Amino acid sequence: MQKIQAVITVHLLIRRARFVKTFDHLTVIGLREWVALPDLGVAGLRAKIDTGASTSSLHATEIEPFMRDGERWVRFTAHLGTVVQLRHRRCEAPLVTMKTIKSSNGHAQTRYVIRTPLALGNRVWEVEFTLACRKSMRYRLLLGSKALVHGQLVVNPGVKYVQDKPAFPATLSPVTGAA
């Protein structure tokens, strides 16, 4: 009887742990999460968490570099919806750099890189995104390992959408990164 009760107790602990939103000082997220890009005016965007990718990527087309007040900027159309429900938004952001990215199939591509705040759950922090055509991909935003480290996130691969949709508009707290 004690053995059965111990198994039930362990099972209940595992079920509870599945929905834990923090672990030590780290925020627990699932393989998919709702995010917002407040400085770009984007909310309700589904992100795929990819620990195998170091950089994050945003689906963008019509990318045009330009100068503003002596600094390099980039103007682009961010595609935000799904294949079924298309949404897009014209955006502008300071250009951080150009970066050559090697895809999983071995092809190298030079991409524009921007840095913008990302809101996930109750946290907001700066993330670098490469701008790339992700038209054939299911998720318009890919969150890579560098963003996970800077956001102090840990991934539970057994769950999706652990965190609440971020409040919008979110503001950046410089001390904690919390909204």
Confidence of residue 14 (pLDDT cuts 50, 70, 90): very low
Q: Is the peptide bond before 169 cis (omega within 30 degrees of 0)?
A: yes
**Cα angle for residues 125, 47, 139 (degrees, 5° grid):** 145
pTM for this model (two decimals): 0.78
Segment holding 178, helix H or strand E: none
For 54: left if phi > 0, alpha if psi spans -120 to 50, otherwise beta; the answer is alpha
Tally of residues, the chain: 179
β-pair partners for 64: 75
pLDDT digits (tens, 9 = 90+) for 50-84: 998 888 999 898 999 999 999 999 999 988 765 55
